[in-house]
């Protein structure tokens, strides 16, 4: 029970990596609040409540600042604290630069970068008040190494790394850590849409010779959210099967 009595907000936890993290955090003793724009988040939360866990769902977009601020305040008033923020929500709109529209650029930046800023800015103030917090942001292997056809996504994920390194310096004195997890090739609905031949080509380039599982990332979140990681701050934890160092 490494998260016993902790209050955790996980964005984008209706399905995939976020849903796996919500389940793991509940099993480790946390009360989990799922923020997502997908109504499937209520099904995920209800399934966890049926197992006896404390889990709520709020229909929140990481681009909606008034809703984020209101929800953050309500959660803090209800529980008296917010211990963990997992900035997991993200979207893709992949195209090569010359084919990418300004709208496709902006949509990904709004959710994957500005959305992380919005949620962290709103919640960090409560972490400062309580002199404790764990901020964990989802970057990506491509945020470190780049990737063909993902200018918008790569820019956002690289920006996330820069933000956590800055927040580590700004909030360290308040017993708040900020770190990023950089997943590699993970089995999700997003990667399920990749043609089989291309998917196998990527797997063959991974030393572990398999795709990652959402729980592989959830376990990384758990370590960074726990008290065991109290001296880990401003770091990027790559979870990629050895695909990149």
Whether 174 sits among the annotated catalytic residues: the reply is no
Whole-number Å distance between alpha carbons of 202 and 181:
20
3-state secondary structure of 29: coil
Q: Which of 79, 132, 153, 221 is catalytic?
A: 153
Whole-number Å distance between alpha carbons of 78 and 74:
6
Whole-number Å distance between alpha carbons of 160 and 153:
11
Buried b (16+ CB within 10 A) or exposed e, 168-185: beebeeeebbbbbbbbbb
Closest alpha carbon to 84 in 219, 224, 215 = 224
Catalytic residues: 153
């Amino acid at each position: 029970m490494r998260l016993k009595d902790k209050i955790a907000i996980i964005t984008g936890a209706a399905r995939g990596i976020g849903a796996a993290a919500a389940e793991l955090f509940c099993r480790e003793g946390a009360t989990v609040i799922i923020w997502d724009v997908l109504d499937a988040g209520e099904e995920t939360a209800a399934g966890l409540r049926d197992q006896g866990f404390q889990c709520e769902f709020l229909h929140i977009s990481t681009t909606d600042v008034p809703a984020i601020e209101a929800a953050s305040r309500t959660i803090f008033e209800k529980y008296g604290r917010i211990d963990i923020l997992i900035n997991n929500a993200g979207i893709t709109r992949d195209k090569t630069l010359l084919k990418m529209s300004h709208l496709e650029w902006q949509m990904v930046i709004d959710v994957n970068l500005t959305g992380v800023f919005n949620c962290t800015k709103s919640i960090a103030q409560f972490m400062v008040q309580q002199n404790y917090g764990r901020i964990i942001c989802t970057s990506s292997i491509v945020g470190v190494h780049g990737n063909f056809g993902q200018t918008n996504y790569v820019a956002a994920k690289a920006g996330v790394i820069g933000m956590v390194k800055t927040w580590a310096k700004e909030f360290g004195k308040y017993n708040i850590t900020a770190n990023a997890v950089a997943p590699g090739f993970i089995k999700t609905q997003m990667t399920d849409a990749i043609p089989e031949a291309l998917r196998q080509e990527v797997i063959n380039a991974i030393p572990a010779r398999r795709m990652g599982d959402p729980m592989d990332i959830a376990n990384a979140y758990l370590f960074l959210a726990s008290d065991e990681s109290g001296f880990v701050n401003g770091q990027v934890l790559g979870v990629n099967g050895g695909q990149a160092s």
